Amino acid sequence: MLQAIRDRISGVMAIIVLGLLAIPFAFFGVGNYFQPDLNNNVAMVGDLEISQREFQNSFNSYRSQMRRMLGDSFDEMQYATPLARREHLEDLIDQRLLQQFAVAGGMDIPQRQLAERIQAIEAFQVAGTFNNEIYTQALAFQGLSPAEFEAGLREDLVTQNLISALSATGQPPPAEINAVLALENQTRNVDYVFVAAAPYRDSIAISDEQIEAYYNDNQQQFMQPEQLSVDYLDLNPQQNAADIEVDETELRDLYESQKQRFMTEERRRAQHILLTTSDDAGTDDAEARIRALRERIEAGEDFAELAREHSQDPGSAEQGGDLGWVESGVMPDAFEDALYALAPGSVSEPVKTGFGWHLIKLNEIDPSVGKTFEQARDELAEEWTADRIDRQYRDLADEMVNLSFEHPDALQPIADQLGLEIQHSELFTRESGTGIAGNAEVREAAFSDLVLVEQNNSDPIELGDQRMLIVRLNEHIPASPRPLAEVRDQITLLLQRELASSRAREVAEQIATAAREADTAEGQTRLAASLRELAGLTASPAAAAADAQESSDADELAAATTEAFQQPLQVVSKTDLSRTDYQLGQVFLQGVFSMNTSAEESVIMALPRNGQDWAVVELLGVNEAAETGSEQMQNRFKTQLQRQIANQELEALLAQLRANTEIQVFEDRL
């Protein structure tokens, strides 16, 4: 319960300044706006202070966010350095500057909008509805009054509106959008050869000295993840559901108070004849006609036949006016009153409703029936037990929360008071675990500073509707390098891949160099000529050679390059290569479209293809786009350019604000 509140609160106030700033702004820090203490501040930004408490809460929130984002790649030490703390302080200073600027400019948030934002925060809701008691309790837990919290939230929303205003004002001109789209839609004509690294891998021998040197220089790649185990209290009344004895007297009282829910509704099977009225002039005519039909029914004519002939109800006329079984509350009141006043087989007087005039015939009554206590007992017992468990859980959960504040540094007093047993988990990491550690909320609480660094109990963690945990550190095993023997094969493979990639690059650069100096025959590119020359073949056939000769030449070239370079190499021609030809690889495409297009002659370069393989590319031509793209594409690029302009304006604004604002940083308090 409180853990969920704490998690939600810590992230709601965070803002991302158009990709430039990451300023996690925890709710519980705003209280310091109203309690200035110059001896406890890490910085002063004009008249606004950044307290140690606020900075630490914000920094902890930032580290938690980065830990979730990076997973196994998260380096705890990197985010614990003085440099990391100082950089985060700069983010908070930027936020203060923007707040001051927005408020000075007269920006404000209407009270109604502020209330709507607060009511929309999930941490303050019960079953999707804002709950004022939860709201005040959550703020009290953070040491805040509603006035303090609302003032801080108001300032944060004002800052967000300022950023939104900057974004809205940066409108790129159409010519700039079209220029960007022209580059995006440009295509190129190329010849290329892919040089794979894999053929060189198996022939590369790796020595023990190379393995040991790589291991010593790159131990961070081979770390055993940090692990810990916890002691915990598990409040889960569902585990004791079988031991709860049902009170038969309370069950009978419950049955008597809710007997109606076990009764079926009385139903009546009826027919009717409907004559509709379209206006006031036709009312008397419809009434007269319906009375005439009733007289014919009293004279012995069949109700169903008259309904088929005269009823204007399209849903029942063909069925002789049959309405089937009618339950209370379905028909208009006047219709229902008349129906429930009839005896089986009788016909009503004419009845007026919003649909017109009716004659109603009651055919059959299906009376109301109900379950006896014995028939309903199991259902009532299940509900009674669930209610008892829920009340028991709520009482114990409230007590657990109170005890967790009274005894933050031990589980045993809480266990004794609640009659719970202290349990123990297996070792687990930040990313995975078994048992209770299979739950991400439990792992996050266990690795929090509160538990891991301060070595206190966690805040109560609510799992589901009726389960609450408190965890406490039992054993902590810091991250450590895995033994060399354990990772030797992995390092060998890494080095083989690295050296194989270097060999592929050497071959690609050799081909590129030869291509720049190659003499070409008719219909031949420099790349094709260089490949034949390096493979030891004589002049290639002319472009007009027969298909059979072309095929023979390709086979000869493949065999020759395999002997020369340990793999068959093939020149591939591609016209209208676009930036979206992703099957060739994004790295390759970026290289091709970065090639200089101003040269008069063809451009030849060795380019990386992916993480290991290489390519040699000969740029033969550039094709400008005939159109600037669809409206959807134009809007997409307009948004991107607008964001870039807003980023630049924001950077300029922050630079100006820093130049004109007195900023004090107390380094010794970080």
Query: What are 231-277's pLDDT values in tens digits?
Result: 999 988 766 565 677 778 877 877 777 777 777 778 889 999 999 87
Ranking 379-383, 402-406, 532-536, 587-591 by mean pLDDT, the lowest is: 379-383
- Of the candidate ranges 25-39, 321-335, 598-612, the one whose mean pLDDT is the lowest: 25-39
Residues 558-617 have pLDDT tens digits of 888 988 899 999 999 999 998 888 888 889 999 998 888 765 566 899 999 988 999 999
pLDDT at position 37: 47
Q: Which of 77-81, 145-149, 540-544 has the lowest mean pLDDT?
A: 540-544
CA–CA gap between residue 560 and residue 618 (Å, rounded): 21
Q: Is the dihedral of CA 470, 475, 478, 479 positive or negative?
A: negative
> What whole-number distance in Å separates Cα of residue 157 and Cα of residue 174?
32
Position 67 pLDDT exceeds 50 = yes
Tokens, residue 322: 């049959």
Maximum Cα–Cα distance across the chain: 117
Q: What is the pLDDT of residue 422?
A: 95
Q: Return the HEC string of 128-172.
A: CEECHHHHHHHHHHCCCCHHHHHHHHHHHHHHHHHHHHHHHHCCC
Which of these, 420, 393, 618, lies nearest to 508 by C-alpha position?
618
Residue 100 has pLDDT above 60, yes or no: yes
Instruction: Say if domain 2-171+655-669 classifies as CATH 1.10.4030.
Output: yes
Does pLDDT of 550 surpass 60?
no
User: Residue 344 has which token pair?
Assistant: 């089986």
Note the residue count of the chain: 670
β-partners of residue 615 are 194, 607
Average pLDDT over residues 192-213: 94
pLDDT at 637 over 70: no
- Asked if 530 contacts 245 with a C-beta cutoff of 8 angstroms, the reply is no
Residue 454 makes CB contacts below 8 A (sequence gap 6+) with: none
DSSP secondary structure, 375-387, as one string: HHHHHHHHHHHHH
Q: Report whether 349 contacts 331 (CB < 8 A).
A: no
Helix (H) or strand (E) holding 555: helix 547-565
Of all residues in the chain, what percent carry a pLDDT higher than 70?
83
- Mean pLDDT over 15-21 rounds to 30
What's the confidence (pLDDT) of residue 599?
A: 58
643 CB burial (10 A radius; 0-12, 13-18, 19+): middle
- Give yes or no for residue 136 having a pLDDT over 90: no
Q: According to the model, what pLDDT value does residue 168 have?
A: 67
The least confident of 46-55, 87-96, 489-498, 592-601 is 592-601
Is 433 a residue whose pLDDT tops 70? yes
pLDDT score, position 467: 86
Q: Centre a 10 Å sphere on the Cβ of residue 4 and count the other Cβ atoms it contains.
A: 17
Decide: helix, strand or coil at residue 230: strand
Q: Look at residue 575 in the predicted model and tell me its pLDDT.
A: 92
CA distance 563 to 537: 12
pLDDT at 10 over 50: no
Q: Name the band, by pLDDT with cuts 50, 70 and 90, for residue 85.
A: confident
In whole angstroms, what is the distance from residue 501 CA to residue 198 CA? 8
Measured CA to CA in angstroms, residue 521 lies from 193, 285, 524, 548, 560 at distances of: 19, 103, 5, 19, 19
Give me the half-sphere count of Cα atoms (radius 13 Å) on the Cβ side of residue 600.
0
Residue 84 in tokens? 């990391």
Angle at 167 between CA 166 and CA 170, to 5 degrees: 85
Say what the pLDDT of residue 11 is.
30
Per-residue pLDDT for 342 more than 50? Answer: yes
Q: What does the pLDDT read at residue 424?
A: 97
- Provide the CATH number for the domain formed by 264-366 in this structure: 3.10.50.40
pLDDT tens, residue by residue, 287-316: 999 999 999 999 999 999 999 999 999 889
Query: Which of 24-38, 169-183, 635-649, 653-667 is most confident?
Result: 653-667
**Least confident window among 216-230, 266-280, 456-470, 476-490:** 266-280
- Residue extents of the structural domains in the chain: 2-171+655-669, 187-220+485-623, 226-246+375-478, 264-366
Burial class (CB in 10 A: 0-12, 13-18, 19+), 345: exposed
SS3 420: coil
* Model confidence at 627: pLDDT above 80: no
Calpha distance 468→474 (Å, rounded) = 19
Chain-centre distance for alpha carbon 593: 34
Per-residue pLDDT at 407? 93
Q: Residue 523 corresponds to which amino acid? A: G
% of the chain at pLDDT higher than 90: 32
Per-residue pLDDT, averaged over 420-438, amounts to: 93
Least reliable range by pLDDT among 54-58, 128-132, 172-176, 557-561: 172-176
- Tell me the mean pLDDT in the region 173-201: 82
pLDDT reported for residue 396: 85
Confidence tier at 173 by pLDDT (50, 70, 90): low
pLDDT score at 269? 92
pLDDT at residue number 538: 63
Q: Is the dihedral of CA 531, 536, 542, 545 positive or negative?
A: negative
Reported as a single tens digit per residue, the pLDDT across 277-286 is: 765 444 568 8
Provide the pLDDT for residue 174. Answer: 67
Contact 186, 623 (CB under 8 A): yes
Q: What pLDDT is recorded for position 492?
A: 95
pLDDT of residue 6: 32
Higher pLDDT, 36 or 244: 244
One-letter amino acid at 78 equals: Q
**CA separation for the pair 29, 122 (Å, rounded):** 19
Contact of 592 with 190, CB cutoff 8 Å: yes
